[in-house]
Amino acid sequence: MIAAAAAMAALVVGASHAGQTEGALGLWRTPVDGGGLVRIARCGADICGTVVDSPRLRAHPDQRDVRNRDAARRDRPLRGLLILRASATGPDRWGDGWVYNPEDGRTYRGSIERLPDGRLRLRGCVVAPLCRTQVWTRAD
């Protein structure tokens, strides 16, 4: 899911960016794991993404965050796990955030951009140029 996905440190965003959040809200299909589902919703002035479903979760619904680098968090269920957070940085752009990847237990600095065709491009970086990009499609 970036490989479950991952994302963005929160900044307070002014009301001028509030309407720009709408384009990212909803249910999104990731290209990883046969098409995981992530719901993006408002969380204060930012947007946040949580794991909803995946073929692997349907087969094994009690999966936990076992690869988390923080041993105290390894018992968290993957379903419902917060995996991204970002602030509006311009029209159809969110950044200054983070993306968490449950497949490797790492959190990456990240950004999101809504493409002209309506898909979302997510980019997560350890340190540029060590970045990974995924494109998500709307599922709802």
Neighbours of 119 (CB within 10 A): 14
The residue type of 17 is H
Q: Of 73, 85, 106, which is closest to residue 40 (Cα–Cα)?
A: 85
> In whole numbers, what is the pLDDT of the chain averaged over residues?
85
pLDDT tens digits, 111-127: 999 999 999 999 999 88
- E-strand stretches of 13-138: 26-29, 37-43, 46-53, 82-90, 93-101, 106-114, 120-127, 130-138
In this prediction, residue 21 carries a pLDDT of 56
pLDDT value at 5 more than 50: no
The residue that leads in pLDDT, 9 or 127, is 127
Tokens linked to 126: 């350890």
State yes or no: pLDDT of 3 exceeds 50: no
Indicate the pTM of the whole model: 0.81
Q: Which residues, at least 6 apart from 35, have a Cβ–Cβ distance to it below 8 Å?
A: 29, 54, 55
Instruction: Return the closest-CA partner of residue 110 out of 30, 11, 27, 9.
Output: 9
| CATH class for the region spanning 15-138 | mainly beta
**What is the percent of the chain with per-residue pLDDT over 70, rounded to a whole number?**
84
Q: Where are the domains of the chain?
A: 15-138
CA atoms of 82 and 84, how far apart (whole Å) = 6
